[in-house]
């Protein structure tokens, strides 16, 4: 991926700094502009102060009235006689002139006018002169007729006054003009400065906006890039996750695929061992058996690991008798230990603080067996000790197991690699001792899941001690089942018993019957739940194997009825191709004591008989046995497509070629009938009937190894079945028929 910006965001930082600087500049310019504006406004107010009287006008009026007085005076002086009217008019002129002077003295003018020295001087001179006439005019107002001499003198004086007021007017005008010019200059200057700062402010705002836009663009681009990146990451993650899941799935599938033929091999070897063979042949068979078991162990490890990786590891907590558990676990490796000349020691206190604890015995045993078999594997002519101690830590009961050997030991770098998946201490180990390198990883995961701790002490050449500490609780009832130990327990001959097989499908009936007969059992068949209830009522059995989905009455209901109506009934085991947890729960709830997934194998049937027939002996144990949680079934049904050769081989091996062929023939006959019914049912849209038909077909197909037919039937149960789907199913069945006939 290429990114359109520097990943450290240095551009953004620089742009951010620039923006801050520009903002500061803009703020400064704005402040300056504000100041300028205030100044301008203040000056303008001064200049254009509306509440001041016009000083120049008043000076002009003064000058005008002086001239008026002079004119009137000259008119009187020119006349020969003294006209009292004219004298009165002269008095009025003087009064008016006087009032103009008062205005100049009292009115509020501009500071520039009021405080100007030459103006003040002129005004004082004019005032002195005018005031000097006042006594004479006061007398004239009182009726006095002035003499010619008085009038002539006054005339001369007033002429001087007129000159003075004329000069005064000129001065005032000059002063005003100068002030106005100055003010105008100042305002123009201010305007210039304002314009300059305004343009600077504008420029800075423009730059700011451009910069912000650029920044915004970069940020938007970065956002888009991040989005793209996130998308790509999520896709990559999904791809990786899908890959990982596919890998796990593949591992699980492969393990299953290998396990099925391996089971056949082991079963065959078992059967061979039971028969009478020449001595060397018997040894060879044992080799086949032990090799097969080793292989199975490896495959189980891989399966476990893939389960753990998928987070599917689940615990089943039960009460465990620690002493018995330790003994039986150690017993399993005794044989192999002795082969290597090793001594086996169980170090356990005579009196345990808590003899029964609650834990998952199957998983615990798995861990211990792994450690023990490692110890046995890497020790020659030494001692392998299983030590058990109990102690209390922070009010919690802890169980500590130690597996100590006197074997080759591990160095420090080796210890570091120990719990990593697929690693072994060094490559030569796997060549010399074999193993997947998964064992300890699985152990660690299990111990983690049990909320415990695990560790190792080791010294090269002096042996190793693996330990684990697991918190537990005191158990009230011990329900330890044979579990994993079963494979190694020497096979006992199974007592002959009466078995009620409840199964509606003919093929399945035949397979199960053959298997059971081979295991020395007498089989009675019930075709559905109703029949089963009727038979169970009049006849006692040692074990009842119950199909789940059947016409008339299903397995759950039949179980309930039988358990309700028949006293002291035999254990009932469920057999079904539906292996969901819900189904198991439903079975347990109805009172079944076991749960077997289809297809049923000889080995599993043997196991079922061993487990439940023995328990069934003692009525006292019956109640306890019902508490036994479901036996482990294959986690998923076989998923390979097409025809399962392994299943065929198993059936042929167990039943013989002829019987197998007969079975297949029966299946195809059944299938033809089922398909006919299915086509009819599709027309009638009877959902329950369709589902039951498909279920029956699926069970029968699995039984004879036609996995793809079973698959299609099952998928049609999930989605709504269609005519086209039925066609495909029919075609598949016919294809198999042709193939098998050939």
Partner 1 sequence: MKALASACMLLATLATAPAWALDKPKGEPVLTITGAISETNDGGNAVFDMPMLEALAGRTASMETPWTEGKVEFSGPFLREILKAAGAKGTNLKVKALNDYAADVPTEDAEIDTILATKMNGKPMPVREKGPLMLVYPFDQDKGLYNEKYFGRSVWQIKEIEVLP
Query: How many Cβ atoms are within 10 Å of 158's Cβ, its own excluded?
Result: 25
Residue holding tokens 């956002």? 223
To partner 1, the closest distance from the beta carbon of 113 in angstroms equals 13
To partner 1, the closest distance from the beta carbon of 125 in angstroms equals 20
To partner 1, the closest distance from the beta carbon of 166 in angstroms equals 18
Nearer to partner 1, 100 or 584 (CB): 100
Nearer to partner 1, 54 or 640 (CB): 54
DSSP 499: E
Residue 392 to residues 318, 352, 389, 471, Cα–Cα distance (Å): 20, 13, 10, 9
Q: Which residues pair with 466 in a beta bridge?
A: 403, 456
Nearer to partner 1, 57 or 144 (CB): 57
* Length of the chain as a residue count: 742
To partner 1, the closest distance from the beta carbon of 206 in angstroms equals 42
Nearer to partner 1, 93 or 606 (CB): 93
Nearer to partner 1, 102 or 491 (CB): 102
To partner 1, the closest distance from the beta carbon of 163 in angstroms equals 20
Nearer to partner 1, 99 or 160 (CB): 99
To partner 1, the closest distance from the beta carbon of 64 in angstroms equals 8
Residue 740 near residue 665, CB atoms below 8 Å: no
Nearer to partner 1, 65 or 542 (CB): 65
Nearer to partner 1, 92 or 652 (CB): 92
5/225 Cα distance (integer angstroms): 9
Query: How many Cβ atoms are within 10 Å of 312's Cβ, its own excluded?
Result: 12
Nearer to partner 1, 61 or 559 (CB): 61
- Of 22, 59, 63, 65, the one binding partner 1 by CB under 8 A: 65
- Rounded-to-10 torsion of CA 647, 648, 649, 650: 50
Nearer to partner 1, 95 or 426 (CB): 95
Nearer to partner 1, 108 or 473 (CB): 108
To partner 1, the closest distance from the beta carbon of 100 in angstroms equals 9
To partner 1, the closest distance from the beta carbon of 93 in angstroms equals 8
To partner 1, the closest distance from the beta carbon of 140 in angstroms equals 13
Nearer to partner 1, 72 or 385 (CB): 72
Nearest to 96 by CA among 59, 45, 138, 61: 61
DSSP per residue over 107-169, as a string?
A: S---HHHHT-HHHHHHHHHHHHHHHHHHHHHHHHHTTPPPPHHHHHHHHHHHHHHHHHHHHHH
Nearer to partner 1, 95 or 632 (CB): 95
Residues 25 to 64 in contact with partner 1, rule: CB under 8 A: 50-54, 61, 64
Nearer to partner 1, 106 or 395 (CB): 106
Q: Please give the structure tokens belonging to residue 641.
A: 């497509």
Given strand 543-547, what is the order of strands in its sheet? 522-526, 498-502, 543-547, 572-576, 594-597
Instruction: Give the count of residues interacting with partner 1 (CB under 8 A).
Output: 19
To partner 1, the closest distance from the beta carbon of 133 in angstroms equals 12
Q: Please give the structure tokens belonging to residue 283.
A: 């040894």
Measure CA 470 to chain center.
31
Q: Does an H or E element contain 655, and which?
A: helix 645-655
To partner 1, the closest distance from the beta carbon of 19 in angstroms equals 48
Q: Please give the structure tokens belonging to residue 42.
A: 């203040």
Query: How many Cβ atoms are within 10 Å of 709's Cβ, its own excluded?
Result: 25
To partner 1, the closest distance from the beta carbon of 25 in angstroms equals 42
Residue 436 near residue 301, CB atoms below 8 Å: yes
Residues 66 to 85 in contact with partner 1, rule: CB under 8 A: 68
Residues 356 to 385 in contact with partner 1, rule: CB under 8 A: none
To partner 1, the closest distance from the beta carbon of 48 in angstroms equals 10
Q: Which residues pair with 513 in a beta bridge?
A: none
To partner 1, the closest distance from the beta carbon of 96 in angstroms equals 5
Q: Please give the structure tokens belonging to residue 232.
A: 């790509």
Nearest to 639 by CA among 579, 696, 693: 579
Residue 740 to residues 638, 733, 736, Cα–Cα distance (Å): 20, 11, 6
203/201 Cα distance (integer angstroms): 5
- Per-residue x/- mask for partner 1, residues 89 to 128, rule CB under 8 A? ---x--xx-xx--xx--xxx--------------------
Q: Please give the structure tokens belonging to residue 671.
A: 């299938």
To partner 1, the closest distance from the beta carbon of 172 in angstroms equals 17
By CB neighbour count within 10 A (0-12 exposed, 13-18 middle, 19+ buried), where does 693 fall? buried
SS3 string, 21-51, reads: HHHHHHHHHHHHHHHHHHHHHHHHHHHCCCC
β-pairing verdict for 396-405 and 383-393: antiparallel
Residue holding tokens 């049923």? 600
194/205 Cα distance (integer angstroms): 16
**Phi and psi at residue 253, in whole multiples of 5°?**
-60, -50
Nearer to partner 1, 49 or 124 (CB): 49
Which residues here bind partner 1, judged by CB under 8 A? 50-54, 61, 64-65, 68, 92, 95-96, 98-99, 102-103, 106-108
């Amino acid at each position: 991926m290429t990114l359109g910006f520097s990943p450290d965001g240095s551009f953004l930082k620089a742009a951010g700094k620039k923006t801050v600087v520009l903002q500061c500049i803009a703020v400064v310019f704005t402040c300056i502009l504000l100041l300028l504006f205030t100044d301008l406004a203040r000056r303008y107010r001064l200049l254009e102060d509306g509440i001041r009287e016009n000083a120049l006008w008043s000076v002009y009026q003064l000058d005008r009235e002086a001239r008026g007085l002079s004119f009137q005076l000259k008119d009187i002086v020119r006349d020969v006689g003294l006209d009292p009217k004219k004298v009165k008019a002269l008095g009025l002129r003087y009064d008016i002139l006087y009032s103009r002077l008062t205005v100049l003295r009292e009115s509020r003018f501009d500071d520039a006018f009021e405080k100007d020295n030459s103006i003040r001087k002129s005004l004082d001179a004019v005032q002195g002169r005018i005031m000097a006439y006042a006594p004479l005019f006061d007398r004239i107002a009182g009726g006095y007729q002035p003499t010619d001499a008085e009038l002539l003198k006054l005339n001369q004086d007033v002429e001087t006054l007129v000159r003075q007021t004329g000069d005064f007017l000129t001065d005032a005008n000059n002063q005003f003009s100068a002030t106005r010019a100055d003010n105008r200059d100042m305002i123009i200057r201010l305007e210039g400065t304002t314009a300059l700062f305004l343009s600077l402010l504008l420029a800075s705002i423009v730059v700011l906006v451009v910069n912000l836009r650029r920044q915004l663009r970069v940020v938007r681009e970065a956002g888009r890039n991040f989005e793209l990146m996130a998308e790509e990451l999520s896709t990559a993650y999904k791809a990786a996750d899908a890959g990982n899941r596919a890998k796990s799935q593949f591992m699980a599938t492969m393990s299953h695929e290998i396990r099925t033929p391996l089971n056949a091999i082991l079963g065959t070897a078992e059967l061979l061992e039971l028969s009478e063979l020449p001595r060397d042949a018997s040894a060879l068979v044992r080799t086949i058996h032990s090799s097969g078991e080793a292989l199975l162990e490896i495959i189980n490890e891989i399966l476990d690991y893939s389960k753990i990786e998928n987070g599917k590891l689940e615990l089943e907590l039960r009460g465990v008798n620690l002493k018995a558990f330790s003994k039986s676990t150690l017993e399993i490796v005794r044989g192999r230990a002795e082969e290597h000349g090793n001594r086996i020691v169980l170090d356990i206190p005579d009196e345990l603080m808590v003899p029964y604890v609650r834990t998952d015995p199957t998983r615990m045993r798995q861990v211990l067996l792994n450690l023990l078999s490692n110890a046995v594997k890497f020790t020659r002519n030494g001692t392998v000790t299983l030590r058990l101690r109990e102690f209390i830590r922070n009010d919690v009961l802890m169980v500590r197991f130690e597996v100590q050997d006197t074997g080759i030991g591990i160095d420090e770098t080796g210890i570091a690699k120990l719990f990593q998946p697929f690693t072994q201490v060094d490559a030569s180990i796997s060549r010399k001792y074999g193993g997947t390198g998964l064992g300890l990883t699985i152990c660690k995961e299990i111990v983690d899941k049990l909320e415990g701790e695990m560790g190792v002490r080791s010294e090269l050449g002096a042996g190793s001690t693996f330990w684990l500490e697991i918190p537990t609780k005191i158990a009230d009832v011990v329900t330890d089942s044979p579990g994993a130990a079963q494979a190694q327990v020497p096979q006992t001959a199974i007592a002959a018993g009466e078995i009620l097989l409840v199964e509606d499908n003919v093929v399945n009936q035949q397979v199960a019957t053959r298997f059971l007969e081979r295991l020395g059992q007498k089989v009675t068949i019930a075709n559905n739940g109703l029949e089963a209830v009727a038979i169970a009522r009049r006849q006692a059995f040692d074990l009842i194997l119950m199909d789940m989905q059947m016409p008339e009455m299903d397995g759950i209901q039949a179980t309930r009825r039988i358990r309700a109506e028949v006293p002291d009934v035999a254990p009932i085991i469920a057999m079904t191709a539906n292996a969901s947890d819900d189904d198991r729960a439903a079975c347990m709830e109805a009172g079944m004591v076991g749960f077997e997934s289809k297809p049923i194998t000889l080995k599993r049937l043997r196991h079922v008989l061993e487990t439940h027939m023995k328990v069934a002996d003692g009525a006292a144990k019956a109640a306890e046995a019902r508490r036994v949680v479901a036996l482990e079934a294959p986690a998923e049904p076989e998923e390979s497509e097409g025809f399962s050769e392994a299943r065929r081989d198993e059936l042929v091996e167990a039943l013989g070629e002829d019987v197998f062929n007969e079975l297949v023939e029966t299946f195809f006959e059944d299938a033809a009938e089922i398909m006919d019914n299915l086509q009819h049912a599709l027309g009638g849209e009877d959902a329950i009937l369709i589902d039951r038909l498909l279920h029956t077909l699926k069970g029968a197909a699995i039984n004879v190894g036609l996995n793809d037919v079973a698959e299609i039937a099952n998928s049609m149960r999930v989605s709504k079945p269609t005519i086209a789907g039925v066609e495909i199913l029919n075609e598949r069945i016919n294809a198999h028929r042709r193939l098998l006939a050939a």
